[in-house]
Amino acid sequence: MRAAAAAAGADEAYHLGLDFGTSGARVTVIDGSGEVVTEAKSGYGADAAADWAAAWERVLFGLLASLPEAARGRVASLAIDGTSATALLLDAASGDVLAAPKLYNEAQGPDAVAAAKTVAPPAHTAAAATSTLAKLLTWHLGGAWQAAAARGTAPALLHQADWLASLLHGRRDTSDWNNALKLGYDPGLEAYPDWLLSQARRGGGEAAWPAGRPAGRLGRRGGPAAGANGGRAGASDAIVCGGTTDSIAAFVAAGVTEVGQAVTSLGSTMAVKLLSSCRVDDSAYGIYSHRLGGSWLVGGASNTGGAVLRQFFTDAQLAELTARIEVARPSGLDYYPLVTPGERFPVNDPGLRPRLEPRPEDDAVFLQGILESMARIEGEAYAQLRRLGASPLTEVVTAGGGAVNAKWTAMRAAALGVPVRRAAQGEASYGAALLARQGWRQHLAQRREALLTDG
């Protein structure tokens, strides 16, 4: 991405987003108006688990190199998202990986989890078995940290998105508010909290933690890695902006910008995220807040969702039965659709059993009852967020496979009492590209201010 792009105006420049998900990565390039210019995707390869870091690096530069030169040459900024709490232990000076990466879903052993719970406040997200803090403590308890220090190496921790960005800008001391949350970062304070700092000082690890910054914040250009690594893919002159997690990038992709707007992701389960002026954290319901700009992204997840439908219906059956549903004639069925017992949100009941009886003879009515009940649970979820202090709901944007079902959308709008529409964009890489555009606009604003000051 050549220096000429850095001098382009907002509408002439392109912006690039990279999403590193669970099974592969995707790149999206947009123009200044948000239109998609080009996209590409890649799996990590069958042998990726043998060396995750090498696979991610290979895919990063492979995707950048695969873009058409005409598009790549106009990219002025980029941002990267990765899976939450996927972390690496590095040599802070050389960038060498000192221990195999720990993935987002890798629960740590009982000693590390117990240590995390001792350090963190009760039920804090950093105390979870899959948190970044638990992974850091695993490396410390296992001696990897001490072994590096004994060799004269300064160990450093980075998240997946942080590390991939470091391959372009060459710095290994920066993260973002969203990725750093499960390490213990407090986005309200814009700092690591005292309960974590005091423990770090005793253990000598504070300096190894990456500083937090907002997603999309104007980033860095150049650095020791930019010429060697970025240059080989044409990325040496692009501004690398603050990244985020894959779920936050997907939220940004949906185009939600105003307090009160929300995104419901209808996949195998049902996740809700509401943009709120107030922060809400409640461990009893698995609710915690990410900071997004000047607002809070409050989220929770129900165990109901598409996985229940898969127990009973094929895609063809869903299409045929949905066509026969009469939305204006409610089924009157009161279900709580679950695959296995247990629910955390909007009710906290680990023993809650699936309720899918009575089952009508007509499967279209049975399906209608399930969809109506899921819509009711979605409404209860947003009502629970409101009771806990979040901003009132004004609109719901839908992402995921369930977004294409127009009759279900009508049921949900009736249950929620607000407009419901399908997200125009659902790819996390598109959300990352929007964050890159945000950083570029900050750059242009700063440059204009500097010109006015100089004038």
The residues spanned by each domain of the chain are 3-247+429-454, 256-423
Using 50 as the pLDDT threshold, list the residues of the chain that sit under it: 1-8, 222-234
- Predicted pLDDT of residue 34: 96
Answer whether 3-247+429-454 and 256-423 agree in fold. Answer: yes
3-247+429-454 CATH choice from 3.40.50.2300, 3.30.420.40, 3.40.190.10, 3.30.70.1400: 3.30.420.40
- Predicted pLDDT of residue 206: 55
- CB count in 10 Å sphere of residue 1: 28
Taking phi over 0 as left and psi of -120 to 50 as alpha, with beta for the rest, 204 belongs to left
Contact 157, 209 (CB under 8 A): yes
The domain made up of 256-423 is a member of CATH 3.30.420.40: yes
Taking phi over 0 as left and psi of -120 to 50 as alpha, with beta for the rest, 277 belongs to alpha
Whose tokens are 């004994």? That residue is 150
Give the DSSP letter of residue 355.
B
Contact 178, 290 (CB under 8 A): yes
- Predicted pLDDT of residue 222: 43
Instruction: Name which of 368, 426, 435 is nearest 399 in CA terms.
Output: 426
- Predicted pLDDT of residue 449: 77
- Predicted pLDDT of residue 386: 97
Which residues does residue 140 pair with via DSSP β-bridges, in sequence order? Answer: none
Q: What are phi and psi of 29, to 5 degrees?
A: -115, 130
Question: Model's pTM, two decimal places?
Answer: 0.87
Whose tokens are 């890649």? That residue is 42
Quote the CA–CA distance of 96 and 302 in Å, as a whole number.
40
